[in-house]
Structures are given as structure tokens and as C-alpha cells.
Amino acid sequence: MRNLAIAGGLILAAAVPASAQSQSCEGFLTGSYIYDEGSAVVNTDWSPTWFQICNVKTTWKGITPDICLSWLAKVDAAVTHGKNVRFYYQGNKISACNQIPSYVDAPAPNYVMLLPQDRP
């Protein structure tokens, strides 16, 4: 029985790569804009560069325009009302929040969350 439990644990450990870390970036948005070709770009207090999160016209890095538009509603609300946001990156998309590549080179987040905290 003990060997079966050990074997099961090893199988589970092998199924989840040790390098599959996720990163949650939380803070305030300092601005957002949309290019004429549809790219939605944001600036945050955790990243030194502007970076793309989605595209309102075409699917970008797996994010469809309908998801992008819903994310932009949260982004615009955060900027307008001075609220905190969280962008979540699953797996090894980024190593640190302050190292997100700029513009189109940025990975797509897995979700965008509007949080209740006010900007100080």
C-alpha cells in the first residue's frame, strides 16, 4: 500500500512541471489606449513600460475580441474610479511583474480583475 502511495505521488509530481510558476500582478493602472488596428495597451504602477493585454478586433495570443472588450470595461473602470486591478499570468509567461515585455511582445494575461481598493 505504501509503495502504491509513493508511486501515485511520483506520477502527480511528474504531471506538474516544477517550472510552471504563475504570477499575479496587482496595483493601479495609470492609463490605457487602443490603437486603430485594435491593440489594447495599458500602463501600470508595477511595470515600467506600456504593454498590450488584448485586441478588440482580432484574437491575440488566444484572447478573443469579446473577452478583450470585457477586460477593457474593467480597465476603464479602474482608471476612471482609481481602483486597484490584478492581472494573472498562468505558467511561465512572466518572471516578475516589473519585467513584462513592452507592447505587443507582452504575454496575454489569463484574467483581469477589478479590485475594490482605492488609489491612495
Q: State pLDDT tens for residues 56-73.
A: 999 999 999 999 999 999
Instruction: Answer whether residue 53 shows pLDDT above 60.
Output: yes
Q: Across residues 2-7, what is the average pLDDT?
A: 48
**74 domain-assigned:** yes
**80 domain-assigned:** yes
Residue 92 pLDDT class (50, 70, 90 cuts): confident
Please answer whether residues 27 and 48 qualify as being in contact, where contact means their C-beta atoms are separated by less than 8 angstroms.
Answer: no
How far is the C-alpha of 120 from the C-alpha of 114, rounded, in Å? 16
Q: Across residues 29-52, what is the average pLDDT?
A: 96
Domain extent, residue 67, equals: 19-118
Domain count, the chain: 1
Q: What is the CATH number of the domain that holds 28?
A: 2.40.50.70
**108 domain-assigned:** yes
How far is the C-alpha of 110 from the C-alpha of 90, rounded, in Å? 6
pTM above 0.75, yes or no: yes
**57 domain-assigned:** yes
